[in-house]
Chains A and B, each alone.
Chain A
Amino acid sequence: MLKRLARLAVNAYPRAWRDRYQVEMVKVLEGHKVSLATVIDLAIGVARAWFLWPHKGRWRAQMFVGVGSITFVCLFVFAGFQQSMRMGANQPQIQMTQHVTSMMTHGQSVNGFHTSHPIEIQQSLAPFLVIYNNQGAPVVSTGELYGRTPVIPMGVLAYAKQHGQDKLTWQPEQGVRIAAVVQYHANHGGGFVLAGRSLRVVEQGETSLLKMIEMAWLVLMGGLIAMVIALGRRRKSAKV
């Protein structure tokens, strides 16, 4: 497998390089004990040859590799930050479900969580709580969507009962997206505690992040084009 990857890496060098060194490099690999370090070393060699070796020729292939690498890195950075932001959005809800479950274990009655001023989920960014009985019927809710307790998607409570907890992105209405955490508890005959809050701020952050990544992508593309043009000029002047 590693030997095959190493052969593939040798094939990925620029054509002019392969014309000159491929046969002997393949011969060296035949006698060499190929490890992961060999493959990584060859991959670095490929990148160096494409970007730094002045005789590689075909600028289209250079551009293709450059555009692909920059796009991959930008997507990777975006996905990493987005995932981090999305996971961070669950933290207060996790704390809330654990806190409420603990209070109920210590004798707090479900009715103690009632509120006379429920949060309007479609407008507010505040976290809210819904407590369900063991049959999945809401008993208490501190949040309302247009005057009613939002209906949780089918299967969520069953999953939480089986695994102890479930984390989900929930869209009870068009334009209303909620980061929700559901915790199963065995107190008072069993039931579920759901804590949720609007994802509006997180999604605004994601949009800003996407714009920044797009800007970075454009700047890097500009840099790549400038580099390819500069290298092309250097090659031409070297030939003269």
Chain B
Amino acid sequence: MKSDIGRFSDPSFLILASLASGPKHGYAMMEDIQAFSGTLLEPGTLYGAINRLEERGFIRPLKVEERRRPYEITGAGFVLFQERVALFEKMAVIGKNRMELRGY
């Protein structure tokens, strides 16, 4: 499957990051994302991103529990997550080097 990194915006990455620590339903994802990134994903954005990730096979729904459906990250989703983290790390190193060049 094509990784398609460029077409993913931050909500998709935040969801993958949240699910990387284990399956979660929508509300638990919102709370987890807010806790680790300070970003509050509203339900419209959250479910739009869940839909895109699910249709591309990066997350999968699990059995409904009390009207809440948990999702888990798939193998392809974890690979995509690793690629994005690696990209961010590379960007962070470059960014730090450039800051040092300017004396920060």
B46, B47, B68, B69: most-surrounded residue (chain A CB, <10 A): B47
- Expressed in whole angstroms, the Cα–Cα distance for A137 and B61 within the complex equals 82
Interfacial chain A residues near B43, Cβ < 8 Å: 6, 10, 25, 28-29, 32, 38, 41-42, 45
B97: Cβ under 8 A from any A Cβ:
no
- Expressed in whole angstroms, the Cα–Cα distance for A89 and B26 within the complex equals 55
Q: How large is the interface on A (under 10, 10 to 19, 20 to 34, 35 or more residues)?
A: 20 to 34
**Given A24-B67, A27-B68, A28-B26, is A43 in contact with B47 using a C-beta cutoff of 8 Å?**
no
Interfacial chain A residues near B26, Cβ < 8 Å: 24-25, 27-28
Please determine whether B44 and A41 come into contact, CB atoms closer than 8 angstroms: yes
- Expressed in whole angstroms, the Cα–Cα distance for A10 and B26 within the complex equals 15
**Chain A 27-46 interface residues, beta-carbon cutoff 8 Å to B:** 27-29, 31-32, 37-38, 41-46
**Taking the nearest CB of chain A, how far is it from the CB of B64, in angstroms?**
8
**B68's contact among A9, A20, A24, by CB below 8 Å, is which?**
A24
**Taking the nearest CB of chain B, how far is it from the CB of A26, in angstroms?**
8
Nearest B residue to A35 by beta-carbon distance?
B42
Interfacial chain B residues near A45, Cβ < 8 Å: 43-45, 47-48
**Chain B 1-60 interface residues, beta-carbon cutoff 8 Å to A:** 25-27, 30, 42-48, 50-51
Please determine whether A28 and B44 come into contact, CB atoms closer than 8 angstroms: no
Interfacial chain B residues near A48, Cβ < 8 Å: 48
Please determine whether B27 and A32 come into contact, CB atoms closer than 8 angstroms: yes
Nearest B residue to A46 by beta-carbon distance?
B44
- Expressed in whole angstroms, the Cα–Cα distance for A37 and B44 within the complex equals 10
- Expressed in whole angstroms, the Cα–Cα distance for A209 and B99 within the complex equals 53
**A53's contact among B51, B67, B68, B69, by CB below 8 Å, is which?**
B51
A1: Cβ under 8 A from any B Cβ:
no
Nearest A residue to B48 by beta-carbon distance?
A45
Q: List 9 A-B contacts (CB under 8 A).
A: A21-B47, A21-B50, A24-B67, A24-B68, A25-B47, A27-B26, A28-B46, A45-B47, A49-B48
Query: B-contacting residues of A (Cβ < 8 Å)?
Result: 6, 9-10, 17, 20-21, 23-29, 31-32, 37-38, 41-46, 48-49, 53
